[in-house]
Amino acid sequence: MISSISPKLSPLVPEIVALLGGIVSAVIVALPVNTFFEFLSAEQILLAPIIEEPVKAIGVLFLAVNYPYVIATKSRGLVLGGLAGLGFALTENLFYATMPQTDVVARALLPVPMHVMASGIAALGLVYLAQNNMNPRGRALGRKMLGFRSRNVLSLVVVAVVMHMQYNVLSYFGYLGSMLGLIVIGFVYYRLETFLPENMRFYSVPGPAKLLTSTVRVKVLRHPFATSTATNPGKADSSESRAYCILCGHEILRGESYCDRCGGQQQ
């Protein structure tokens, strides 16, 4: 059970945990499993993204469950997820560098940013898990809310897997294909980073297919549900609805019982 005030971590510790999570997942899980299935022709396209995207985020998942205040916003999700992807990609590159006929330069320039962006997208889903864990009432919520949160988490992980898959498919066409795949994932990453709200409590993921469709069509992503303290999502932007946490000073909605950054209970 998570207390009303989450335990604190020293500066840079969350970043180190996320980075080490990516490294450990590459060594213990992803590389052995991928090596075992390398005889399958579809392994690089299908199995690798399905295996890698969830396990890369093991450190970020640990933080979301045990120290949720460190990944309570969109920006923190992208940063910590990106570090997890960086740790994974660098470890994977070291492994492939020992193999003959490996283009070390190409692997350093192309897969690394792909892994960073894919892991950042997947970690956006874990922001929902962290926000749920910051509220002690979260574990007592009904099935509807738990299902809602699960959909948000899984949808963004699926988007990350799909982006990784399309990069793998295009990489079979050489450097130009890899560059095109990197541009595609970069565009989706940019759109999500630009238009998703910083406080993601105010955004309900419409499922991976609709989220990708909205992104590709360059539509402004909407915030389709209201909080318990506002009947209209637009009210979250009015000055009358704003307040500040009594513990950390973070801006919250007036009437909120818990801070979405430090988890502190408000009086």
Are residues 242 and 215 part of one domain? no
Are residues 89 and 171 part of one domain? yes
Q: What is the pLDDT along the chain (267 residues), one digit of tens a residue?
A: 344 445 677 888 999 999 999 999 988 877 777 666 665 556 667 788 898 899 999 999 999 988 988 998 999 999 999 999 999 999 988 887 776 666 666 777 788 999 999 999 999 999 988 887 776 554 444 444 444 568 889 999 999 999 999 998 998 888 899 999 999 999 999 999 988 888 887 778 888 888 888 777 755 454 443 343 333 444 444 445 567 665 555 677 777 766 665 556 566
Are residues 42 and 84 part of one domain? yes
Six-digit token string for 227:
């909080």
The verdict on residue 7 lying in a domain is no
- Side chain identity at residue 46, one-letter code: L
Can you tell me whether residue 12 is helix, strand or coil?
coil
The verdict on residue 2 lying in a domain is no
CB 171 within 8 A of CB 107: no
- pTM exceeds cut of 0.85: no
The verdict on residue 6 lying in a domain is no
Using alpha carbons only, give the angle 154, 38, 173 rounded to the nearest 5 degrees: 80
The verdict on residue 4 lying in a domain is no
Partners of residue 243 on adjacent β-strands: 252
Q: Give the C-alpha separation, 231 to 251, whole Å.
A: 19
Q: Give the C-alpha separation, 11 to 15, whole Å.
A: 8
Are residues 98 and 84 part of one domain? yes
CA-closest candidate to residue 64, choices 5, 1, 141, 123: 123
Q: CB neighbours (10 Å) of residue 213?
A: 12
CB 254 within 8 A of CB 243: yes
Are residues 238 and 179 part of one domain? no
Q: Give the C-alpha separation, 136 to 265, whole Å.
A: 9
Six-digit token string for 33:
């499993």
**Residue span of the structural domain in which 244 resides:** 226-267
Are residues 168 and 121 part of one domain? yes
CB 34 within 8 A of CB 53: no
Domain count, the chain: 2
The pLDDT assigned to 256 comes to 72
The verdict on residue 145 lying in a domain is yes
Are residues 231 and 248 part of one domain? yes
The pLDDT assigned to 2 comes to 42
The verdict on residue 58 lying in a domain is yes
CB 3 within 8 A of CB 136: yes
The verdict on residue 5 lying in a domain is no
CB 200 within 8 A of CB 74: yes
Are residues 141 and 38 part of one domain? yes
Are residues 242 and 118 part of one domain? no
CA 165 to chain centre: 17
Are residues 103 and 128 part of one domain? yes
Are residues 207 and 254 part of one domain? no
Are residues 120 and 36 part of one domain? yes
- First-last CA distance in the chain: 21
Tell me which residue has tokens 């502190």.
264
The verdict on residue 8 lying in a domain is no
The pLDDT assigned to 188 comes to 94
Partners of residue 252 on adjacent β-strands: 243
